[in-house]
Each structure stands twice: as C-alpha cells, then as structure tokens.
Amino acid sequence: MARAQRLALGLALGAFPALASPSLAGPAVASRYNEIKMSQEQCLKNAEEALRKTGLEAQDRSEQSRYGARGDYTGVVRCIASNGLVLFIGSGPSRQITNNLSGTLFKNFEGGLH
C-alpha cells in the first residue's frame, strides 16, 4: 500500500471514534407499534387524542400521520389501517425521554389490540 493511502486510511480510522461519539450523535428515536381494527379516519382521530393526552402540541398532519411537539421532542402517530397497524414514534435529544414518549403515546392511544 502506498504511503499516501496508508496515511489516508489511518486518518479515516482515527476519525471514526469521533464520529461515533454521543456528543456528535443526532437525535434519539424510539418507536412502538400496535395492531388495530378500525378505519383510517378513526385511527387518525385517536392519534390526535393520544398526542393531546401526552401533552404534545399539534404540529402537522398528513394522510397517514399526526405530529406533535413539546420543546425539543416530537411525537408521531402513523396510521396504516389498511394493514391493521399504528406506529408510535418519539424523537429528541435524550434516549430515555424519547423512549418514554413513544411508550406514552402507545398507552394513550385508544383502540389498540394489545
């Protein structure tokens, strides 16, 4: 291996641990899912209520999702009624708080099968 290639490889490998550093990591993301037997419309209504009960302020809407936020944290409830699924996603700077957020959305959603 040529000296320049070894130097470049050494620099790249030396930088790798810095890239994996928690201080440079992006936001934490946590998710849960549940099975549902309801219409898409009902699921989206329940999603809005779950976000409200969790204390998140409504942010955005799509055909399948409802979004809410509080501070640095975002919650999403995604309804895929045609597949019998609802997804709960939390994101933010703390892994523990984000995990709790997705779990609270799961618990506050009415009509899941589990």
Q: Quick check: pTM over 0.75?
A: yes
Domain 26-108: what homologous superfamily? Alpha-D-phosphohexomutase, C-terminal domain (3.30.310.50)
- Per-residue pLDDT for 5 more than 50? no
Domains of the chain: which residue ranges? 26-108
Residues 6+ apart with CB under 8 A from 111: 36, 38, 42, 43, 46
pLDDT tens string 38-74: 999 999 999 999 999 999 999 999 999 999 999 999 9
